[in-house]
Structure 1
Amino acid sequence: MAVEIDQMTGALRRIAPLLDVRSDELQIRQGYFDLLVDVPVTSTGRAQSLWLNQTGAAAYDLLHPIARAIAPDTRRVPERLDLEWGATVLDLGCGPANITVGLARAVGERGLVIGLDVSEKMLARAIARTSESNVGYVRADAERLPLRAETVDALCCSVVLQLVEDLDAVFDHIDRVLRPGGRVALAATAAGYGLSRQIAPYVGNFAGAHMFEPEEMPTLLADRGFTNIKTRTYAMLQFVDARKPR
């Protein structure tokens, strides 16, 4: 059932005007905007199939601390984005909100964090662990990002890009929704170097995940005018930060 803006509460009411969707078409399910009602979600492989189900969503919580230990940049997203008090942030592919809650604390109660994911199971876990009033969630597809142009000050996307089919579409959307001067903090599986590079093709084929080459994400950003591009690689994880020109 469609919900009018004056019937919404909390962060969802603040998010609604930022969505490129008519207010009378918005539907709330389980505490989040669901823009994929009756839209089938096609898995790109084993990894995405895992994140779409209950077991995978629970397993993600076990894997996240390992990633934080191996790659310090995983736990430094607010610092990488240089977040200011009152900023609006999009957590693209938020999963069970392991990063989202930290972003909410960094921007304060006047700020806003939008957690977006395609998985109902992930969003259910995100809702359950989020008490911050400045966080709201949206179920949508990263390849058809439903936000209006220049609506967010910063954007993070952690270990999601390797699962999308149309990278150009996603990076076009990232560029479109980010305000001039905004920052991005990205992370994705990568071919890496040395032993990691030898193993990466087998991992990618098994998981159905793209293993990025070192200059692939930086090039996708540079082609769209982003500057101050910085990259770090830990084993098979690559982190890329950049700024959209003012």
Structure 2
Amino acid sequence: MTDVHISLPPALRRALELLSDPPADPDVSRGYLDLLGAAGGDAVEKNTGPIQAAWASPIGSMLYDNAQALSRRVLTAFQHPAEWLSIPSGGVALDVGSGPGNVTSALAHSAGPDGLALGVDISEPMLARAARNEAGPHVGFIRADAQRLPLRDNTVDAVVSMAVLQLVPDPAAALAEMARVLRPGGRLAIMVPTAGRAARLWQLLPNIGAHAFGEDEIADILEDNGFTSVRVKNLGTFQTVRAKNG
């Protein structure tokens, strides 16, 4: 291991060991591991809609607090994902679209003193805030795209994605990536806004940067990717989906 790697924060040093293509000179200058660089990466489709642009801005990062307050109320009604995921002691948990990182740190707590929780996001303001407020010896953050997760196959024990998939240009690709990195028997928990039966009408509108999920859309994609025990629960305009990998 090089001196550069030894000098990394402990969580990010462990993260490098899980990457499919670890960088020789990792950029952690802003407190998170940046795998996209200034260009933001060019290998996958990007969300250029106005909703995503606002969400990824510094103002959007601050407004996320209001969305988080709503999400916490919704999660209270559903059950917090960490309570269902059964993360093994010393396990690895992945938060896809981690935002300010509060869910990521909760996953680290569930994984115990030898565990690791990694948050992946594409927004630099969100990641800067997460690294400042939530990073620690067992919590690290990575700038990467959900449609091409940087981890090797079968490297994590649990995956969470809270109110993010609607902003991903190709949600099916992101879900397939979650399946790829999740170990057999690992659990997944997702929450998204849903338009229910009105989803098809929403999808006919011009692209504004947010996908409207139908009632069974996510469940069908997960089953196509080998997930079992898929459970869907709706509460108002929110939907949670839970599943086991294989």
* TM-score, normalising length: structure 2: 0.89
Write the letter of the residue equivalent to 1:26: P
Write the letter of the residue equivalent to 1:155: V
Residue 92 (structure 1) shift: 0.4
2:47–2:169: 8 Å Cα contact kept in structure 1? no
Secondary structure at 1:30's aligned position in 2?
Answer: coil
Unpaired segments of 5 or more residues in structure 2?
none
Secondary structure at 1:208's aligned position in 2?
Answer: coil
**How has the CA–CA distance of structure 1 residues 67 and 6 changed in structure 2, closer, same or farther, with 3 Å as cutoff?**
closer
1:44–1:164: 8 Å Cα contact kept in structure 2? no
Write the letter of the residue equivalent to 1:11: A
Match of 1:99 among 103, 117, 126: 103
* Equivalence for 1:223: 224
2:32–2:142: 8 Å Cα contact kept in structure 1? yes
CA distance in structure 2 between the aligned counterparts of 1:39 and 1:3, rounded to whole angstroms: 27
Q: 4+ residue stretches of structure 1 with deviation over 3 A?
A: 40-44, 204-207
CA distance in structure 2 between the aligned counterparts of 1:222 and 1:153, rounded to whole angstroms: 18
1:3–1:25: 8 Å Cα contact kept in structure 2? no
CA distance in structure 2 between the aligned counterparts of 1:94 and 1:3, rounded to whole angstroms: 29
Aligned positions of 1:10-159 closer than 5 A: 10-40=10-40, 42-72=46-76, 76-130=80-134, 132-159=136-163
Write the letter of the residue equivalent to 1:69: R
1:5–1:23: 8 Å Cα contact kept in structure 2? no
CA distance in structure 1 between the aligned counterparts of 2:61 and 2:134, rounded to whole angstroms: 16
CA distance in structure 2 between the aligned counterparts of 1:172 and 1:48, rounded to whole angstroms: 21
Residue 206 (structure 1) shift: 8.2
Worse overlay, 209-218 or 127-136 = 127-136
CA distance in structure 2 between the aligned counterparts of 1:224 and 1:161, rounded to whole angstroms: 16
Matched residue count: 239
Secondary structure at 1:89's aligned position in 2?
Answer: strand
CA distance in structure 2 between the aligned counterparts of 1:167 and 1:184, rounded to whole angstroms: 15
CA distance in structure 1 between the aligned counterparts of 2:225 and 2:145, rounded to whole angstroms: 21
* TM-score, normalising length: structure 1: 0.89
**How has the CA–CA distance of structure 1 residues 113 and 168 changed in structure 2, closer, same or farther, with 3 Å as cutoff?**
same
**How has the CA–CA distance of structure 1 residues 114 and 54 changed in structure 2, closer, same or farther, with 3 Å as cutoff?**
same
**How has the CA–CA distance of structure 1 residues 43 and 222 changed in structure 2, closer, same or farther, with 3 Å as cutoff?**
closer
CA distance in structure 2 between the aligned counterparts of 1:86 and 1:128, rounded to whole angstroms: 24
Residue 39 (structure 1) shift: 2.1
Aligned positions of 1:204-223 closer than 5 A: 208-223=209-224
Q: CA RMSD of the aligned region, Å?
A: 2.3
Unpaired segments of 5 or more residues in structure 1?
none
